[in-house]
Amino acid sequence: MLELRDLAFGYGAKTVGSGISLTLQPGETLCLLGPNGGGKTTLFKTMLGLLPPLGGRVLLDGADLATLPRRDIAKRIAYVPQAHAAFFPFRVREVVVMGRASRLSAFASPGPADHAAAERALTLLGIGHLSDRVYTEISGGERQLALIARALAGEPRLLVMDEPTASLDFGNQARVLGQVRRLSEHGIAVVLSTHDPGHAFLCADRVALLHGGRLAGLGAPAETVTPETLRLLYGVEVAVVPLPQSGRAVCAPVLP
């Protein structure tokens, strides 16, 4: 449903990466790995149409992203930014219903159907009890879940999540990754970035490695996440240890 064709991306005149080609299938989960400052967020913003491509094209269901109005893009692709502190004390319910903006005309306010969609998203993520809480007063993990709920309220077919597990505690990381897995069961494709290569085994169908602004690898987690590729990406020795009877592996740095 989303295709990157020989994409070059960056800010203004500064090119961060180039030569990126990949196609995303409906319901597929793609995990993007790369070092700090490697351009993961910039690539995401280009995939969302928030930054214009510096070369190549981004195609959404065959149409060039640059030719689509924002509403049409937002109906299909939802963005989950890193959990942030909001500026005004909106209630969680009010934040989540904002995900319906792409489904409403410019002068419209959300109606019962939109509030119902927001409630469904909150329930799906198991945070229905937070609905009346103030967004600025809940924890970082709860905010991240609320932002995922906001994205889902718009009933998108693709979720782009920028480091959804960053700044979350161990339990909340597992909870968010579990939700990501369940999304693909609902037919929603997910692209996410993470700093823990082990997360790729937990939720991804495919892994893309971003190194030096280019795709250094693309494929199933077991083939892409290896000690060699991780050394290339992060410049440290990493042990990739398979977990028995799960087909998964954990990654741990090896200190000299």
Binding interface with another protein (CB under 8 A): 11-13, 45, 48, 50, 69-71, 73-75, 78-79, 81, 86-91, 94, 98-99, 101-102, 104, 106-110, 134, 136, 154
Q: Do residues 200 and 225 lie in contact, with contact meaning Cβ atoms separated by under 8 Å?
A: yes
Work out how close the CB of 230 gets to another protein at its nearest, in angstroms, rounded to a whole number. 30
45 vs 206 by CB, closer to another protein: 45
Work out how close the CB of 219 gets to another protein at its nearest, in angstroms, rounded to a whole number. 29
102 secondary structure, DSSP code: G
88 vs 170 by CB, closer to another protein: 88
Residues recorded for the chain = 256
Work out how close the CB of 141 gets to another protein at its nearest, in angstroms, rounded to a whole number. 19
4 vs 159 by CB, closer to another protein: 159
- Tell me the C-alpha to C-alpha distance, in Å, between residue 193 and each of 55, 61, 106, 143: 22, 22, 32, 18
28 vs 114 by CB, closer to another protein: 114
Assign residue 232 a region (left: φ > 0; alpha: ψ between -120 and 50; beta: otherwise): alpha
Work out how close the CB of 110 gets to another protein at its nearest, in angstroms, rounded to a whole number. 7
203 secondary structure, DSSP code: H
Nearest to 99 by CA among 132, 141, 71: 71
